[in-house]
Amino acid sequence: MPIPPSLNTPRRLLMGPGPSEVPDSVLRALAQPTLGHLDPAFVEVMNQVQGMLRTVWGTRNDATFALSATGSSGMEACLTNLLEPGDRALIGVNGVFGSRMVEVAERAGAEVTRVDQTWGKPLDPSAFRLAAKGRRHKVVAMVHAETSTGVRNDLGPIRAVANEYGALFVADCVTSLGGMPVDLDASGVDAAYSASQKCLSAPSGTAPISLSERALAVMAKRTTPIRSWYLDLNLLRNYWGGERKYHHTAPSNLFYALHEALRLSLEEGLSNRYKRHQRNGLALCAGLTAMGLQLPVATNVRLPQLTLVAVPEGVDASAVLADLRDIYGIEIGGGLGPFAGKAWRIGLMGGASQRAHVIRLLAALHSTLLRHGYSPPDHGVAAAEGVYDA
């Protein structure tokens, strides 16, 4: 084949379920000179990343670092390191990523009990108790912010269930870290994982994780080898710990980007960052509602950073996505599972969570819907501005 030209990728406003908008300073950090993975200057970057991650996670856990891989690697690492063949795991499922946790745990050889909930509704602690049948479990797991539906599952009630059955508590925080309070220590989470490309607004490719002392103690008592060499957290702790023992060639430039993304989060202030996400989420929902669009997730459990929007009757969901992208340069996401073709997912994560972006999207969506046979009763912009001006 002929040699292709140099890349010149189009500019999109990323308002889908991920990746999110990457700030210019994060892109500049990504372009810093590459260093070797054991270079003292890079080791210092790692040290600073660890310190900032502890603050953002809300933990004093020593075993807090980032994997050189995507968020799915964090899921696989936490579950395969904590579970051995025959162990019992109780896992809540109210979306795609709860289902994925089940699959990973089963591949680790665990005896998994699913605790299913209707997509679009939060997990029910009483359903966990019913499914447990009074038996002890090694792990109770859930998704904190379910990206496929925009539902918030509160950590505290499920932590209480884990306590009742003597279990470690594992939380998927891929879409929550950096966009809403997580507070691992206060919430009693034993193992958590996230991803760089959501509310932290760095490029995809690094996965922050954190493990409690309880989790480390369980890992130390394993009787079978961890099934993944690359994701063996004991080996990775040696690389991120004082020994800096060689494990893999870390993508130094991706860690520069994560470093800057974390620095921006702390510079803004976590409380301010959470308030920003909350306010923009409220404004978006006010605008969508004024346009006559249905929001399937109840207000009290709706994520501010990810909103599920029902597609109006007779409108081609995919065609709207294509027009938003090709005409207006805006990316939002389609529905998954039972919401496939029936809903859109709008992300206001990290750098995308801005007043100007909310207004731009509402205006573009209004025009697009008109072209596709739906006449909104209102533009939605005034309703959103009303939230900002209140």
In this prediction the pTM is 0.97
Cα end-to-end distance, the chain, whole Å: 59
At 359 the pLDDT is 98
Strand extents, DSSP E, the chain: 13-14, 63-67, 88-93, 111-116, 139-143, 145-146, 151-152, 168-172, 191-193, 207-211, 306-310, 330-331, 333-334, 343-347
Rounded to whole angstroms, the Cα distance separating 384 from 283 reads 4
Chunked mean pLDDT (size 10), the chain, 390 residues? 94 97 98 95 97 98 98 98 98 98 98 98 98 96 98 98 97 98 98 98 98 97 95 95 89 98 98 98 98 98 98 98 98 98 98 98 98 96 97
Q: Which residues pair with 67 in a beta bridge?
A: 207
Q: Which residues pair with 93 in a beta bridge?
A: 116
Contact 98, 170 (CB under 8 A): no
List of domains in the chain: 24-266 (3.40.640.10), 270-389 (3.90.1150.10)
Tokens of 280: 């923009």
Cβ partners under 8 Å of residue 233, min gap 6:
63, 77, 81, 209, 211, 219, 226
At 242 the pLDDT is 78
At 132 the pLDDT is 96
At 167 the pLDDT is 98
At 244 the pLDDT is 86
The closest of 255, 276, 278 to 202, measured between CA atoms, is 255
Contact 349, 179 (CB under 8 A): yes
Rounded to whole angstroms, the Cα distance separating 362 from 357 reads 9
Q: Is 237 left (phi over 0), alpha (psi -120 to 50) or beta?
A: alpha
Phi, psi of 213 (to 5 degrees): -65, -35
At 96 the pLDDT is 98
Burial group, residue 217, by CB count within 10 angstroms (0-12, 13-18, 19+): exposed
Tokens of 260: 């800057």
